[in-house]
Amino acid sequence: WTSEEDNLLRLAVQLYGDKTEKWAKIAACVPGRTNKNCRKRWFHSLDPSLRKGTWTDEEDQLLREGVTKYPNQWSKIADMLEGRTDDQCAKRW
């Protein structure tokens, strides 16, 4: 992704929101990118609510609890950790 594409994506999400039914319209604003490309880039990299950087002890504890409760169900585990993605949880584990 180029910085120009990231900016187009930010503007499109600002215009349409990040709801499921809007990703086709959002992708139309970012030439050469699909709905899935845009959705993944937003939720895994650009969404300002994402937590990046060092994990807290509390997050590590929640991750352990999530893995016990939902083995290998990274989306459900990520739902237990505000601001962390399924990919972040899987990599951390």
Q: What is the pLDDT of residues 42-89, one digit of tens each?
A: 988 999 989 999 999 999 999 999 999 999 999 999 999 999 999 999
Q: What are φ and ψ of residue 63, in 5° steps? A: -60, -45
- For residue 23, the model assigns a pLDDT of 94
- For residue 19, the model assigns a pLDDT of 81
- For residue 42, the model assigns a pLDDT of 94
Instruction: Give me the helices (H) in the chain, please.
Output: 3-16, 23-28, 35-41, 57-69, 74-79, 86-92
The class level of CATH for 3-46 reads mainly alpha
**Angstrom distances, CA of residue 57 to CA of 10, 30, 44, 45, 54:** 32, 38, 22, 23, 10
The CATH 1.10.10 portion of the chain extends over 3-46
Higher-scoring residue by pLDDT: 20, 79: 79
